[in-house]
Amino acid sequence: MARGRRAPAAPAPAGGPAPGDYPIDTGTATLERDPYSDTGWILKVNGVPSSHVDLADPGRLDFEYMRWIAALVRSRFAPGAYDGGEHDGAARRLRALHLGGGACSLARWVCAAYPDSRQVVVELDGKLAGLVRGWFDLPRAPLLRLRVGEAGEVLASLTSATRELIVRDVFAGDKTPEDLTTAAFTREAARVLSDGGLYVVNCGDGPRLEGARREAATIGAEFEHVAIVADPAMLKGRRYGNMVIAGSNAPIPAGPAMLRELLGGGVPAHHWDDAATRAFAR
């Protein structure tokens, strides 16, 4: 997701998705058909792939890092997992905040995996938010609300302890804006999370992994438990790519089923537990 000037939400287009280029507040959105699926669509923002949506299957996540986030969420909020005493773990109704909207792929997945959840997706680009709402027939409020605004400003405006899940997936080009990686921003995320909530970030970085180490250290300083999921080449600093970093004041479990799931994707991934993540951050 690119950053730019703030704008009011645009009206949703009629007739559903159609391939083409669309002017948005931060540049150009390009919608393309998935060549391998009759119901799949690829959204690019200023030429950069931003999201994939399967209209027939909200549980399908084509982007590897989104599958890794989903695996962490399922592991942390599985039936019987730690829940701060608020739920019995049987039928979750998560309160989720997505900082960075795109095509709302992960929010659609949460709706499918955790029915009756309440979600807010924050998107800076009002015209893009309006297009996405019309193209992909998103669940309506209160199940899913699109809020146009800047991620840091919206986060600071929220009431403490009101979300079980916060996902930060905001990019300007190939980097997350620096003000969304600071200790102050991370502290705000921790404030908004309920007891035992999960904070997950999509961190893009190059082979030196300096940004990823800083992010892991910052999140580790604010939360009692941290974890990382990424593919081996990324963890060894061999290429630019995505690293998912998670923080929580409750344990972040990684059982055999989750580890098998991570190894079984198109890009097999490894999981680093708290000790390995803190060693990496040092």
Q: pLDDT tens digits, residue range 6-61? A: 445 555 555 689 999 999 999 999 999 999 999 999 999 999 999 999 999 999 99
Once rounded to an integer, what is the mean pLDDT over residues 235-247?
93
Q: How far is it, in rounded angstroms, from Cα 37 to Cα 54?
A: 8
Q: How far is CA 107 from CA 61, 167, 224, in A?
A: 11, 10, 26
Bridge partner residues of 199 (DSSP): 166, 247
Which residue in 165, 192, 166, 147 sits closest to 94, CA to CA? 165
How does the average pLDDT of the chain come out, rounded? Answer: 90
Once rounded to an integer, what is the mean pLDDT over residues 179-202?
97
Q: How far is it, in rounded angstroms, from Cα 281 to Cα 226?
A: 11
Question: Model pTM?
Answer: 0.91
Element (H, E) at 98: strand 95-99
Least confident of 92-96, 144-148, 209-213, 216-220: 92-96
CATH 3.40.50.150 fits 20-281, yes or no: yes
Q: How far is it, in rounded angstroms, from Cα 42 to Cα 52?
A: 5
195-207: per-residue pLDDT in tens?
A: 999 999 999 999 9
* Predicted confidence band of residue 174 (pLDDT cuts 50, 70, 90): confident
Least confident of 13-22, 60-69, 129-138, 190-199: 13-22
Once rounded to an integer, what is the mean pLDDT over residues 122-149?
95
Output the pLDDT for position 175: 81
